Structure formats: structure tokens, C-alpha cells
Structure 1
Amino acid sequence: MKYLTLTVLIWFYVKNVLTLECYWNTECKYKYFGSKTPYETVRGDIRDSVIRMEGCEAVSIWAIMRHGKRNPGQIFARHMQHILEHKDVIVSSYEVGNSSLCAQDIENIKNWNVDVPVLTKPNEIAEEGYQELLRIGNRINEAFPELLKELQAKDYLFLPGFGQHLKESARAFVQGLNKKLILENDTDDYQIVAPYLTCGKYQLEVRRNPDIYHEEEEYKKTADYLNMKERIVRKLGLNFTFSNQDITAIYDLCRYTWNGISNKPCPWCAVFSTEDLQVLEYIDDLRHYYRNGYGVSQYSKRFGQLPLADLLRKFEQVKNGKGKKIVSYFTHATMMDMILVVLNLYKDTKPLMGAHKDINRKWRTSFLSTFTSNMIAVLNRCSNPGHDEYFYNVAFYWNEKPLLDLCNKGVCSWQEFEDIFKPFLNATIDFCEFKWKNID
């Protein structure tokens, strides 16, 4: 009987050791962080994705892109700094045996130092973000070498929206395409790239309205969210409870400093389980859904039509023998979300709600509006055997992958393209009532 008891105890001890989950050596780490997901995590490759059709050649490219990975805003950076000031407390909790983090994970947190600009240069583009855009430029240049060689000033337009990180994103993209090209002069006309910035009605009723975060706040009252907070405190072995702000700050440490290009995770991500990260990801989905997406479609549809109307106009000019070989706009996640709403893409049958997380939801910011997310449209001119006239079609890509839910697996005939996009030509921002001047 003593032998049996000893065996059971040894088995229980070994079982606990073998099933201890450590972040540092987990091969398949969860790396979807809502709108702060690294582009490298979800992107395709336009060089491989180009839909090639016999007898067709690309004659124009139109693209709209979110800025590259940037540093957090000033308030969020301050919250992250606050957590870093408690790093010694977290390490001490492990050393006295209260924490269930693995030894290597705690050592990695202990030895980790934040890249200084992340906290001291709010909203500036990160080096990784610059590289994201530069590499897209490289890939587009390789995918369409004949179209993009020897570009003249009349052949292109590159226009960034408000913010230095957008200008740097545009500069990186242009460098990737061809170092000799120049950007459009600075402008305060954001009607195509970010019309919501100067729309008084939208700023008051949506952007500055705390009620739009109602579903997000409801979710923070659910067992999903509360259990996540309890797991984290228990995991760190602390004798105090984190505030929601503290949880977000640790999450920001994890996602803002995860390097997607080098696939180098941040040690702070060890604080979370996969289930925890999925909870936090859903909060981002709710926020975008009700601020930029289907939850505020009366605005998102009207704003999103403006760049899409520009797409039709630009391609019509090319079709009529004029126009440009490449046009690219640089914007925010807000506009990327709105474009999806206008095209009725990734729409769930039921609205996203705070009371219940739908694990099978289509609206996933981790795949739709990540850093550097983009929509690329390519106008193709095709020969028509037995006829002198050409015909045209338009291929669409989202994050460098064919946009399969649009037309024939991402390729619209010119007639289909016109049928979808022509109604957008009537889009205006007359409903805004007054111009919002305090752009931030």
C-alpha cells in the first residue's frame, strides 16, 4: 500500500512537470493581436497571388494601405511604462515561489529592455513598420515589372493622409518601388484617404462618443473577461488585482514589441494564455465593429464610398487612354474597415455583441485591418481574339491575397466593376454639417 501511494505521488509530480506550459519554447504561439497584429503574420505575397490571365496585361494599379507598424500613443505608452516599473515585483513573486511562470519566461522578462522610441516617440512609425511598406513596394515592383519600369511624374500618385507615420509609410513604399519617385505635396484635403477626420457630425456622434464602446464595456463584465484577469493575477502570483488599464498595458507590451518580420515574440506575451489573447482580441473586434464597421454603417458606408469612387474614376481614365500607371493612398485602420463595409465583406449574420463572443465570427481585425493592411486593385487590358477592341477586367487583393468574395474569385469584368462601383460616384460628406478642425 505504501508502494502504491508513493507511485501515485511520483506520477502526480511528474505529470505536473510534463504538462507545465512554458511560453518560451511553445512552437505554435498565438500571434493575432487585433489591429496591432504584425502584417507579416497574415500577409500574402502579391508576386505569387497575381491572377494571370492569358492575353491580359496589367495597365494600372490602385492601392489603399494602412500605415505601417507605429509606436503607441502617449497615454498608452505611459501605461506601459507603469507596468515596467513593476517588473521587479513580478520577478520577486516568482523568486519566492508565488508565480507559475516558467523559469526561462521569467528570466526573459527580467532581462528584457524596451526599445526606447516605443515609449518616448508616440505614434511615430517603427522600423518594422517602415520595412513592411518598403517590402510591399519591392514585391509590387517585382510582380509588375513591365508596368512600373521607367515611371514618369505623370504616371503615378502617392498621397498620405494626416500624421507623420502616414507620410513615413508612403516614403517607405515609394522607396521600395523606386527611390527616384516623389510623394504628393502635403495637403489638408483628406476627402479620399480620411474624410472622417474633418467630419464634425461623425467626430461628435461616434469618435468622441463614449457610448460607442458600450458592447466592449459589456464584454468586460462577462465571465470570459473576468476569468482572464483572474488567471493572469494567479499566474503572476500577485497579492493585488490588475485594473483593466493594467491588463491593456501588458497586452500592449506584448503586441507592440512583437517583431513580425524577424518572428521574434516579446517575453511579456508569456503572461497570457492563448485563451487570454483571444479574449483581448475580441475586445479589439468590438471596438472596430462599433467605431468603424458594421455597427456604425450609416457613417462607414458613406465614408468608404469616397476612395472607391476614386478607384472607378482612375481606372476609367486609364481605359480612356489617359490616367496613371499606379496610384496609392495611405490611411488608417478606420478607412480599411469602412471599405469592407461598403463592399459588404466579412459581414456576420448577427451583430457582434459584448454578451457573447462568437468564435466563428467573420469580422476579425487580426486579419482585416492589421498594421499595413491594404487593398490593391489591378486593371487588366485583354485582347479579344477575332476583334480589334480590347476588353478590361479588374483583379482585387486584400493583404496581397486574392479577394475571393468579390465577383469571380477576386476578378470582376468591367461591367461587374461598374455595376458595383458606379453608385459610389454620388458619395459626398455634405451630411457632416460642419468641419472638425481639431485633428489628432
Structure 2
Amino acid sequence: MRLLLVFLAVLAFSNAHRRRKKKQFCSSSHEEYRMFGDRTFYELVAGNVSTIPERAPQSCVPIQIYMIVRHGARYPGAKHLPKLELLRNFIQQVGEFSQPRLCETDLQGIRDWQVYTDEYDQLNQTEKGANEVKGIARRFKQLFPELLGSDVNVDKFRFRSTNRPQTRMSLESFISEMLSVPDDPETTQRRIDEAIVDVPPVNSDKVYQNNCKNYMAVLNNLSAYIPEFNAFGEGHDISKIIKKLAERLGVERSSISADLLWKIYTYGCKYQQQVDGFNGPWCKVFKRKELKVLQYWDDLRSYETKGPALPLAIQKNCYVAKDVISLMTSTRQQDIAGGEIPPAKFLSVHTSNIATLAQLLKLVTVDRPLTRSNYRMHYYREFDFSKMAPTGGNLVFVLYRCLETEYKMQLYWNERVVRIPGCPEDPNSFCSLNRILELYPNLVVGSETECNQEEICGPYKT
């Protein structure tokens, strides 16, 4: 009998030990997840134009390219420093309420975590961000040498950027690659110096979303416009993550609000991986499936501020979209008349420009709205900001002359050829320029339904 009791006691201890061991959380035992909405690295989701077997049939010649490229990975802004300091202060609570369930390596990573930026980094592009846009420039230059090659005169190109540190620096990186001449640094520098770069005053630029007064009125009253995001943050999925996170950190459940979890995910996790190039300590406190829930939460916010839930967010890209259509239309006219054609235009922009322009062109369709209650229905959603607008995300429009008299457009989205909705099926995803004008009458200058940027956004400063 005594032996049986001893055996049962040993068994109970062993089971309890296994249960305690099972509850310990260690990131090395879980598959890494790196999809972080608009902070997702380009290389993780983009295509590669250098692998395209055939860009166009021989009867078609490219005559113009318009590249709209989001800036590469960057540092947070100075306005984010208080949020980072808040996380640093929160770390002092780790382990005060209970024994943390994190394994020692991950726990030490949190305790050693420091604010990873300062006011001098203010929005500056990271080295990885520079390499992202350089790679894009290099691959398109190889794909379209007749438009972008080293023998094309620099004064034929037009470069433009919004007047923000991240876009200006990205454009500089882009230009340094686009205008480079192999094994000739002197000529390369001369070409860079001769580049015509337009950087409008920050307060009057119609490309920069912060100058759209009606849109900024929404962002200044943000909570009223993101009810689904707010409700999801108070729901079961987020509550479950908070409970697990409190156990892993050894803090009281009540010390982690939905707002604090959002700051941990946004500023501690996804922003820092933009700077370091890999998942840091705050990313490692979550399981892969939890990061997917947080990604959906992030997408919900984008859906309500940069998506179908807020038509204004999409319509405010009227100016950029019209510029593309207008340039292609005038190029056709110049070409027919035998005039000189500018071969390329480049525009360095922001997340919102890429994501909302894609929606304005109807490249993204949402059959079922994203809401607080249908996360599992959207597990494989089309409205996925990680794929829509990663760092370096881009939309590239190419105009071709075919058989001397027909003009067709081809569209690349993050280095993948995409068929423009409403255009006939085509092996090269070509669409006639005439069909483009029929599909988007609101983007045609002079049409009865032409969109008006100032009616959409309110008056701009001059």
C-alpha cells in the first residue's frame, strides 16, 4: 500500500511538472510570422519582374513608363517616442504579479529591451529601405532598357516626391540606382546631378494625404470612424491574447488594456522589425496564430481609414490617378504627331497612395466587409495590407505602341503583372488605352464625370 501511495505521489508530481513545463512559452518553439500590414518587408510578398518570361509580343514597343513607388522601410517618427517610453516603463511590471511563463531567453530579451530610435532618426529611411527601392529600380531598368537604360538622356526623366524625409530619401536611393552607369562612377554622378527632381512645398502638395483637409478631419476624430476596429479590440480574440500575454509576462491581466496591446504590437513589434530587419523581443511574446489575429485587427483599422468603409480615403487619390491617365493620353497624341515623348516619370509616395490607388482602379474587390465578428471568414482575404502596400510597394504603368496604330497599357503591382478589371483576357494583361478611358471616365480630364480633387478634399494652399 505504501509503495502504491509513493508511486501515485511521484506520478502526480511528474504530471504537475509536465503541466508547468507545457505552460512555459518559448519563441524558438514556434514558427515565426512576419506579415505586419503596411510594415511588411517588400521581399516577403512582392513578385520579381526579372523572372517574367515575356513582357510583350514583338509587335508591341514600350514608349512610356510611369512608376509610383512607396518609400522603403523607415524609422518611426518623433511622435512615437512617448509610446516607446511607455513600453519601457511597462517592462518594470514584468514578473511582479506572478512567475512569468516566458522562457528565460525571451524574458531576458524583454527586460533588456530599449527604445530603438530617437528624434534624430525622425522618419529616416533605413538601410534595408534604401536597398528595397534600389532593387525595384534595378529590375525595372533591366526589363525596360529602351526606356530606362543608361543611354537615355537624364533630362527626359521626371522625378517627383512628396516633401517628407522618408519619400525624399527613397527617391534619392531610387535615382542613384536608376541613373547608374556600370563601372563609370563619374558619369553616374553627373547623371544624378542633372536629374530634374520636383519636391513641392509640403503644405500644398496634392499627393500628400495630410493636405486633404476633409480626410484629416476624419483622422482627427478617428475613434468615431473605426467602430469595428474598436469593437474587435474589446472582443474575445483580443481578450484571449491579453490573458495569455499577462501570463507570459507575469503581470496582472488588468494592467494590459486593448490600447496597450495595440502599442506593444505596433510600436514594440512591427515598427522595430522595420528597423532591425528581424522580429525583436516584443514580436516573440506572441504565437504565430496570435500575430495573425493582430494583423487582422490592423487590417480592420486600415479598412476603416484607407479602405471601402471610408470612400473619401479612396477618392482622394483622384489627382494621382488622373495624372497617370492624362500623361498616357497626351503621350499617345504626341506619338501620333511624331513629337518627342518623355520616356519615364517617377513618383515617390506613401502607404496610403499605393493602397487607395489600387482600390480606385478596382484592383481590390471586397465581397464581404471586414467586421468585428467575421475574422475567420477573412482568413484568406483580398483586403490584406501586407500584400497591398508593403514597404516599397509600387504600381507601374507601361504604355505600348502596337502595330503602329494601337496603344495599350500594361500594369504591374508589386512587380506582378495584373489584369485591369473590365479589360479583355490577354496573355500579357494588355488593355487598350481606349478601353482604359471607358473604364475610368472619372479619371479622364474634361469628361462629364471627372473627379475634382478640391471638391473631394477641400481647398489646398497655394
The TM-score normalised by the length of structure 2 is: 0.81
Q: Does 1:245 align with 2:264?
A: no
Return 28-37 or 407-416, whichever deviates more.
407-416
**Structure 1: distance between partners of 2:72 and 2:323:** 23
Aligned residue number for residue 45 of structure 2: 42
SS of equivalent to 2:28: coil
1: CA distance between counterparts of 2:212 and 2:81?
A: 28
What residue number does 2:187 align with? none
Give the whole-Å Cα distance in 2 for the aligned partners of 1:47 and 1:134: 14
Q: Does 1:373 align with 2:393?
A: yes
2:310 is the counterpart of 1:291: no
Distance in structure 1 (CA, Å) of the matches to 2:23 and 2:91: 26
The answer to which of 177-186 and 210-219 deviates more is 177-186
1:62-82 superposed Cα distances (whole Å, 9 cap, x missing partner): 121222222223332211122
Question: Does the residue aligned with 1:249 lie in a helix, a strand or coil?
Answer: helix
- Residues 1:278 and 2:292 aligned together: yes
Q: Give the number of aligned pairs.
A: 423
Tell me the distance in 1 between the aligned counterparts of 2:108 and 2:213.
50
In structure 1, how many angstroms separate the alpha carbons of the residues matched to 2:156 and 2:140?
A: 15
Give the structure 1 partner of residue 281 of structure 2.
Answer: 267
The answer to whether the 8 A contact 2:161-2:349 is kept is yes
Distance 2:86 2:419 in 1: 44
Alignment partner of 2:70 out of 57, 61, 66: 66
Corresponding residue of 1:98: 99
**Pairing 1:222-261 to 2, within 5 Å after superposition:** 222-239=235-252, 241-251=255-265, 252-259=267-274
Does the CA contact (< 8 Å) of 1:317 and 1:323 recur in 2?
no
Distance 1:366 1:241 in 2: 30
- Matched with 2:415 is 400
Corresponding residue number in structure 2 for 1:163: 164
Change (3 A) 1:97 1:183: farther
> Deviation string for 1:133-154 (max 9, x for gaps)?
1221122222222321223244
Q: CA deviation at 1:31?
A: 0.9
* Matching residue of 2:348: 330
CA distance in 1, matches of 2:342, 2:114: 46
Secondary structure at the aligned position of 1:378 is classed as: strand
Q: Which residue in 2 is equivalent to 1:126?
A: 126
CA distance in 1: counterparts of 2:367 and 2:416, whole angstroms: 24
Q: What's the secondary structure of 2:198's corresponding residue? A: coil
Change (3 A) 1:436 1:290: farther
1: CA distance, partners of 2:53 / 2:140:
10
Q: Distance in 2 between matches of 1:379 and 1:432?
A: 28
Deviation at 1:283, TM superposition (A): 2.5
Relative to 1, partners in 2 of residues 1:60 and 1:16: Cα closer, same or farther, differing over 3 Å? farther
SS at match of 1:377: strand
Task: Identify if the C-alpha distance between structure 1 residues 53 and 203 changes in structure 2 by more than 3 Å, giving closer, same or farther.
Answer: same
Aligned partner of residue 258 in structure 1, secondary structure: helix
**Kindly tell me: are residues 57 and 433 of structure 1, through their superposed partners in 2, closer, same or farther at Cα, counting changes over 3 Å?**
closer
Specify the SS of the correspondent of 1:100: coil
TM-score with structure 1 length normalisation? 0.85
1:77 equivalent to 2:81? Answer: yes
The letter for the 1-side match of 2:304 is Y
**CA distance change for structure 1 residues 37 and 62 in 2, over 3 Å: closer, same or farther?**
same
Deviates more, 1:53-62 or 1:104-113: 104-113
Compared with structure 1, are the counterparts of its residues 52 and 337 closer, same or farther at alpha carbon in structure 2 (3 Å cutoff)?
Answer: closer
Change in CA separation of 1:49 and 1:309 when aligned onto 2, cut-off 3 Å: farther
> Shift of residue 10 of structure 1?
4.5
Quote the residue 2:229 is aligned against. Answer: 216
The answer to whether structure 1 residue 339 and structure 2 residue 351 are counterparts is: no
Asked if structure 1 preserves the Cα contact closer than 8 Å seen for 2:39 and 2:274, the reply is no
CA distance in 2 between partners of 1:110 and 1:175 (Å): 41
Q: Which amino acid aligns with 1:238?
A: V
Displacement of 1:177 in angstroms is 0.9
278-287 or 222-231, which deviates more: 278-287
Moved more, 262-271 or 330-339: 262-271
Matches of 1:85 and 1:202, distance apart in 2: 34
The 3-state SS of whatever aligns with 1:24 is helix
C-alpha displacement of 1:172? 1.2
**Equivalent residue, structure 1, for 2:205:** 190
Secondary structure of 2:35's aligned partner = coil
* Counterparts of 1:266 and 1:106, CA distance in 2: 12
Label 1:32 to 1:224 Cα distance change in 2 as closer, same or farther (>3 A): same
Aligned position for 1:315 = 328
Q: Which residue identity is paired with 1:428?
A: N
Q: Are residue 144 (structure 1) and residue 154 (structure 2) matched?
A: no
| Cα distance change, pair 171–114 in 1 and its aligned pair in 2 (3 A) | same
Deviations 1:233-266 (A, max 9, x none): 1111113522333222321221112159x86221
Q: Identify the residue that residue 207 of structure 1 maps to in structure 2.
A: 219
Question: How far apart, in 2, do the equivalents of 1:142 and 1:355 lie?
Answer: 46
| 1:352 partner SS | coil
Q: Within 2, Cα distance between the matches of 1:301 and 1:106? A: 43
Percent identity, aligned pairs only, is: 22
Within 2, Cα distance between the matches of 1:69 and 1:176? 17
Contact 1:308–1:421 (Cα < 8 Å) also in 2? no
Q: Give how far 1:375 is off.
A: 0.7
